[in-house]
Chain A
Amino acid sequence: MKRFMNLRPSRGATLFLGLLPFIIVAVFYLVASDMRLSENPNDKLLPSMASFSEAIDRMAFTPSKRTGEILFIGDTVSSLERLGLGVLISAVLAMLIGIPLGFIPFLRAGLSPFVAAFSMVPPMAILPILFIVFGMGELAKVALIVIGVTPLLVRDMQQRVSEIPVEQLIKAQTLGGSSWTIVMRVVLPQVFPRLLDAVRITLGTAWIFLISAEAIAATEGLGYRIFLVRRYMSMDVILPYVAWITFLAFLFDFALKKLTYKLFPWYTAGKEGA
């Protein structure tokens, strides 16, 4: 008898099975929304598809009554700027701090416990301090992302550097490499794709900090808009924004994965295909 574990779905079945959970969720939503709306046509908790399309039209295609700008584009641009800058700074810091920490035992002995402890501080809990140090403007939002993400990346970098086989480092030394050349020629090329991997994993965290930062004080942004209209239970705006954020996050993840494959074919060789 054939075991269940050995049965493989056909291509069509794979596609169908992949779509099935989405379809089930959509059907659940439509049924529940319909039930609430039949009792109160103005109910805001689970809006109908028509009110979604109206909300999307209003947010993404109609200039705002107050400012004359398209809110959705403004929100997306400012959120992406904050996120991009925050993640970029975090990645650069991770390289500048993580590699020396992993590579130089004296530095590791001195700083590693501090970095480990610092990474445990929940940034949201010390917000009042962050307000005073970084103010409440753009800098504060980027800073919150950097503070939230950098320790995770630094620890990952340090770990990856220390995982480099010691034979490689010895060999490089017998070939006459100084500490500096070994970092540049042996360590960096090996850990760089791993940094991209780590960035991919921490993107979710970066989004959380971005949304939180925009919830605290902001004049535009995806998180700002969600927290603003939450006051009025405008789920017709919130749910499309959530879908858009999810899509953007997916897109970043996908782009970084593709970039890693393109730049470092050796790193991905033997791994599961794209």
Chain B
Amino acid sequence: MKHFFKSTSKFLVATTLVMGLSTSSLMAEVKNKFQVSWTIYVGWMPWDYAQQKGIVDKWAKKYDIEIDLVQVNDYIESINQYSAGKFDGCLMTNMDALTIPAAGGIDSTAVIMGDFSNGNDGLILKDKKSLADIKGQKVNLVELSVSHYFLARALESVNLSEKDITVVNTSDADMVSAYSSDEVTAMATWNPQLSEIMTNNKSANLVYDSSKIPGEIIDMLVINTETLKDNPKLAKALTGAWFEVMALMKKGDEKALTFMAEASGTDLAGYKSQLDSTMMFYDASDAVTFAVSPDLPETMKKVSEFSFDHGILGEGAPNAEFIGMEFPGGKTFGDTNNIKLRFTETYVKMAAEGKL
């Protein structure tokens, strides 16, 4: 019996230690090994190219650190792992950055806003041609995602509200097969599923797409603010690698583009057509302009209000200003005592000035 208690208490201590370790990665410290998680999406394929072709390593070496980009299959899982402290950085959209890590109390900084969706998100009606026909229909989409936000913006444009439709939560992986079902009459989704459905179904009509709300769905590289504070080298190295690939893409380097196309499961033509509906910031100076523009705080205000209305700003959020955000130039939105999401132009500016 004595032995039993002894071994039990050992087990207890060991488990507590393990759990302690897993939480300690949340604590900031100067370190030289970093992990960033990413998922397949048209605007993020350059990261894969940079990693596979040694561009990330080259820049990491310059700053005397190691960076590992880890591909995660499920987009949300990637963000959740980042929020739980397993990754130092992660690729995500502006809305998810607000509602997942920031709402979970993880102070995050958007270091590179690489592109915004300019048609990559679309609303499809089966057999109907006008957006107003959506009234009374069931709409299949990934609930509480950017698609949901996008749908709300679409409805606004024809003076409808969410009460006029029914939202059916559908996994993004099932969208293509779901479209063939008779019961599905309306759907909001993003590329590559969107183009897959549009090209294979005559009944599909694209009645609204994200090019009508440019700059509102932003794809960005997010780094834990504490980690960033102690290790600005990480952001410098990543930004340097990113714009090296951007330069290749701007030149239209077929080899690089084909690599990205194949890695995302399409061909060069397919990837190029997805790029057409993505506003990529190939030049660092354009990224700076976008980051410092007054539109960004406006967009984030809308996103924050939408998120609050849908109850995804986190436990105990009394209003849409509950989570504070900080923008370049010292501008803020919401509670300045609870700033959890920061947008910075520091590193893209360095890239634009050639100081990396």
Contacts and interface: CB of A to CB of B under 8 A. Distances in A.
A232 B144 contact: yes
Interface stretch (A40-48, A81-89, A181-189): A40-48
Nearest to A41: B105
A35 B76 contact: no
A201 to B, nearest CB: 29
A40 B84 contact: no
Interface residues of A, number: 38
A230 interface: yes
B27 A131 contact: no
Contacts, number: 107
A30 to B, nearest CB: 11
Given A137-B183, A219-B168, A40 B100 contact: no
Contact of A40 (B106, B144, B316): B106
B181 A231 contact: no
Contact of B174 (A36, A45, A127): A127
Contacts of B312: 232
B293 interface: no
B203 to A, nearest CB: 14
Interface stretch (B14-22, B128-136, B235-243, B341-349): B14-22
Given A45-B84, A55-B315, A131-B178, A228 B144 contact: yes
Interface in B159-175: 162, 166-171, 174
Nearest to A128: B177
Interface string A19-47: 00000000010011001100111111100
Nearest to B307: A232
Contact of A135 (B23, B84, B182): B182
Contacts of A137: 183
Interface in B91-123: 99-100, 103-106
Interface in B121-167: 140, 143-145, 162, 166-167
A218 B168 contact: yes
Contacts of B182: 135
A175 to B, nearest CB: 54
Interface residues on B, range: 35 or more
A179 B140 CA distance: 52
Contacts of A198: none
A142 to B, nearest CB: 14
A239 to B, nearest CB: 14
A160 B178 CA distance: 40
B356 interface: no
B256 interface: no
A100 B87 CA distance: 58
Interface in A207-243: 215-219, 224, 227-228, 230-234, 236
B19 A42 contact: no
A234 B140 CA distance: 22
A66 B306 CA distance: 12
A233 B104 contact: yes
B184 interface: yes
Contacts of A132: 177, 180-181
A54 B27 CA distance: 28
A136 B80 contact: no
B27 A39 contact: yes
A11 interface: no
B183 A136 contact: yes
A35 B168 CA distance: 38
Given A32-B19, A42-B104, A227-B169, A236 B315 contact: yes
